[in-house]
Every structure is written in C-alpha cells, then in structure tokens.
Amino acid sequence: MSDGDTARAPAADDAADFAVVGTDTGVGKTVVTAGLVGWLRASGVDARAVKPAQTGHPPDDDAGFVADACGTDAAATCLERLEPPLAPAVAADQEGVDLSYDTIRVGCERELADAAVGVVEGIGGLRVPLADGREVVDLVADLGVPAVVVARSGLGTLNHTALTVEALERRGCAVAGVVLNEYEGASVAERTNPDALAEMTDCPARTLPPLAMDDPADAVAGVREHLPADVFPTE
C-alpha cells in the first residue's frame, strides 16, 4: 500500500457494518462489495461480505467473486444457494425448497457479529422477494445497517436511484451515499447525474469508472483508486 493509500484508508475503529444495495440487478453491487471489503481487509480490518441468498448458482457466485478478489475464503460467505436465476422466493418455490426469512435474518446477524465489519450484499433491487413475504428492503431494515446504493450512471438513473433512497429512508434505513457505477461522463445525462442526485436525495453521489476486471482483485484496486475513504459508513 502506498503512502497515499494509507492516508485514505478507513480506520478500523470507525468503520461500521453496512449493506450494499442496488437499484436493479446487474448494476455492479458485487464489484463494489468486493472493492470495499478488500479495501478494508488490506487496511487491517477483519471485513466480510455476506450474501443472504444466491440465485442462478451455478454459475453465479457473488460471494465466490468477493473471496477471489480478496484472496481468501474468509472474506465472504453465502447463506443460501438456489439454481434458478430468479428472485430468491420465486426460485425456492420453483425448486420446492423451504426458504425461511427468519433463518436468513438470523444468519446475517450471526455473520455481522463474527466480523469486525460485515457487508451485506443485496439481491437485485430493494423490492426483490426474499422469503415469507419479505423483501430485500425488509432485511436491511431489520438488520439496522446503513446502506450504500449502487446505480447505473446514465439516462434513467435519477428516477430509479431517488426511489431506492426514498424506499430505504421510509423504512428508517440511513443511506450513506450513492455510487454511480461504470461512469464515463460520455453524455450530458451522465455528467449531470451526480450533482442532480446529490440534490434530489441529499446523499453524496460518487462515481466509479469502468474497471478492467482482468482479475477479481482489480475490483479492489479500482474501488480504492476511484472512491474516497468516506464512502464507508462509520459508527
């Protein structure tokens, strides 16, 4: 770690448990989660990502990607895995699997307690059904953790992101900020979206450019290079 990285590294005593949620599926939650967990671990913090449920498995394995990015299986865990690439509640119904919301919630609480900093990665968007009539937003609210919202950078993200922030705040969930992923500034919409979102949501809106991703570890290097240390929620 260079001197500049050390100066920007989050302090272990300050970092708090948090969730990384998205405005939709495929917006980059796993890359951001891997980057933030890897950054914390490189700074000496025993951080761990927690995936409440993984669908589309195999081949999809978000916890596996985070572990590979951080170079250790201790960096991530997944509580439930289902094969259909659907919302967890729908995938469980398709497979005839008894998926329990309380089991997922208790498992997340256990993993958060076992790590110095636990990072819960959402599934799709906030209204994705988890189990027993509960959704991703219910889990974030029940865990009582602040959220980092990952969103697309281009046209249309103002609506989706503002609604996501509003949904979290209505449930009493603090929003630490927004990360506009794969930001290139190639259009007027992209260039104006960060300031517009900051004004609309009263949350900091940060940008993360497209990362090469030749190796999972590139997520950690890219997030550390392009996001400020205050992206991390603190105690």
* Catalytic status, residue 51: yes
Please enumerate in sequence order all residues whose Cβ is within 8 A of that of 100, keeping only pairs 6 or more positions apart, or say none.
131, 132
Beta strand ranges found along 116-215 (DSSP E) = 117-121, 129-131, 134-135, 147-152, 175-181, 205-208
Selected catalytic residue, list 51, 57, 152, 206? 51
Structure tokens at 63: 């916890």
Q: How far is CA 136 from CA 108, 118, 129, 179, 234, in A?
A: 12, 16, 7, 19, 22
Query: Which H helix or E strand runs over 165?
Result: helix 157-170
Pairing assessment for the beta strands 134-135 and 129-131 based on DSSP bridges = antiparallel
Residue 41, both tokens? 């671990």
89 phi and psi angles, rounded to 5 deg: -65, -40
Report how far Cα 179 is from the mean position of its chain's Cα atoms.
10
> Catalytic amino acids?
51
